[in-house]
Amino acid sequence: MKIEQIYTGCLAQGAYYLVSDNEAVIIDPLREIEPYLARAERDGVQIKYILETHFHADFVSGHVDLAKATGATIVYGPNASPSFDFHSAKDGEFLHFGALKMEVLHTPGHTMESTCFLLYNAEEDPEALFSGDTLFIGDVGRPDLAQKAATMTQEDLAGLLYDSLRSKIMILPDSVTVYPAHGAGSACGKNMSKETFDTLGNQKKVNYALRSDMDRSTFIKELTDGLLPPPSYFGMNVAMNKKGYDSIHDVMARGLKALSRDQFTSLAPEALILDTRPAAEFAQGFIPGSIFIGLEGQFAPWVGALIPDVAQEIILVTPDGKEEETVRRLARVGYDNVRGYLDGGIRVWNDSLDSIGRLEASQVEQGLAVNELLIDVRKPGEYESEHLADVPSIPLDFINERMAEFPKDKELVLLCGGGYRSMIAASILKARGFEGIKDVIGGYAALAKTDLPKVTVACASTQS
């Protein structure tokens, strides 16, 4: 028996590759299928099943392409109705591969079709639970409003999740290893651990949602309290995962078109210019109107949060040699309409460039100019935990919705945790016509070391 977790840090996502004898199972695959095909070829096994724990909202799964390439059967639990061929597994059904079996556990709550898969070992004892977004390490899945039935409230879904956890999961042996679909950094939960697997027994001790003394109403309140709205791309990714999508090879071929400067310019009026270079390089000079979202951070989730339409035409300015990585990471979250990249990068742009000023924390400590206003763009939970006195909060997550709150009669100085998100915010404001924008190098991590007055909220919520 082999269990391999294939973890993708930028999405905080875990896919799984399981082998028994000459057969394999893939659980919650990412869109690029070559890693799974390569593993199967290396091990001399046939992929029999592609198991989907639910219709994913935060990434486009590789189930459709993988099934076409291997002949494997796509499996969903009850309540799923995709537009392609699949096996609708019943609650309690066993799926056999090699010498092993997996039990289908329907666990509605995060979504109505959410399903966990329980692997039994050769002695037929429960060995591992592939819990999808039902149970995370340190948390449980949010009752996902992007996918809920029209007649269900988030409180209804939270109640179903309470029932699922207690009737299907908490009754399992403490020795069972929990392998979730996500870890810290995903928007599918509120307080996920950085650990990517754990024993169920330990989770019963440390996971707030699995407290034995928690009643249903308390669970519902704790789970729904402080939930931020889901990113706008969630619903669009769900639709792609239900209906199917273009082959990743076609998407890559379209996106990896090298554009001359003239070709790039001709596309610019309709397309969004996305610059993925490091923040410091972007600040020094960028094509006017560009939006910065750097590859070195949580690139794909921020693209999804800040570019409302996955069908948006995009043209790229990337670091040297990072064109393919950029297109691939965009495709993971459904942004398939990349028209190409600027061949030669920013060096070939011989028109005027724009720039963004940057301040050291020590300069902020010495005092801003009368017309400068410091704004904190971190998440609400970060801000509530500790922030600079008299500095307002406008989270980057909601910058498009709260644009009117940024005063145009001030020169804005933006700060985040370390300087990545503030540069994203600065680029968006610049593209919207704001002038005199600056950011703080090192963000709050640097400012916290200064003597500037700070406000700390005891027991602040971290549910952001």
Q: What is the CA radius of gyration of the chain?
A: 23
**Nearest 5 degrees, angle CA 440-CA 444-CA 450?**
90
State the virtual CA torsion across 345, 347, 348, 350 in degrees, nearest 10: 130
State the virtual CA torsion across 240, 245, 247, 250 in degrees, nearest 10: -100
Q: What is the DSSP letter of 35?
A: H
How is 74-139 classified by DSSP, letter by letter?
EEE-TT---SS--EEPPTT-EEEETTEEEEEEE-TTSSTT-EEEEEE-TTS-EEEEEEETTB-SS-
- Last-in-domain residue among 284, 317, 348: 348
The pLDDT value recorded for residue 351 is 85
The pLDDT value recorded for residue 461 is 40
Residues 405 and 439 in one domain: yes
The pLDDT value recorded for residue 193 is 81
Residues 322 and 367 in one domain: no
Give the neighbor-by-neighbor strand order of the sheet with 357-359: 357-359, 438-440, 411-415, 372-376
Report how far residue 126's alpha carbon sits from residue 212's, in angstroms, rounded to the nearest whole number. Answer: 21
The pLDDT value recorded for residue 169 is 98
The pLDDT value recorded for residue 184 is 78
Residue at 462 is within a domain:
no
Report how far residue 273's alpha carbon sits from residue 232's, in angstroms, rounded to the nearest whole number. Answer: 20
CA-based nearest residue to 55, from 247, 245, 305? 245
Give the count of beta carbons closer than 10 Å to the beta carbon of residue 437.
23
Q: Tell me the HSE value of 146 on the side-chain side, using a 13 A CA sphere.
A: 22
Residue at 260 is within a domain:
yes
Residues 107 and 10 in one domain: yes
pTM of the model: 0.90
User: How many structural domains are present in the chain?
Assistant: 3
- Which regions of the chain are under pLDDT 50? 459-464
Q: How buried is residue 62: exposed, middle or buried, by Cβ count under 10 Å (0-12/13-18/19+)?
A: buried
The pLDDT value recorded for residue 144 is 66
Residue 40, domain extent: 2-234
Report how far residue 297's alpha carbon sits from residue 9's, in angstroms, rounded to the nearest whole number. Answer: 10
Residue at 239 is within a domain:
no
The pLDDT value recorded for residue 149 is 53
Report how far residue 211's alpha carbon sits from residue 214's, in angstroms, rounded to the nearest whole number. Answer: 5
Where in 212-328 does DSSP place strands (E)? 258-259, 272-275, 291-292, 314-317
Residues 148 and 255 in one domain: no
Residue length, the chain?
Answer: 464
**CATH number of the domain within which 123 lies:** 3.60.15.10
- Last-in-domain residue among 348, 382, 403: 348
In terms of DSSP bridges, do strands 13-20 and 94-97 run parallel, antiparallel, or are they unpaired?
unpaired
Tokens representing residue 164 in the block: 């699922």
Residues 339 and 365 in one domain: no
Relative orientation angle of helices 154-164 and 216-224, to the nearest 10 degrees: 130
The pLDDT value recorded for residue 459 is 47
**CA distances in angstroms from 47 to 26, 78, 263, listed in the order given:** 7, 22, 43
Report how far residue 163's alpha carbon sits from residue 208's, in angstroms, rounded to the nearest whole number. Answer: 15
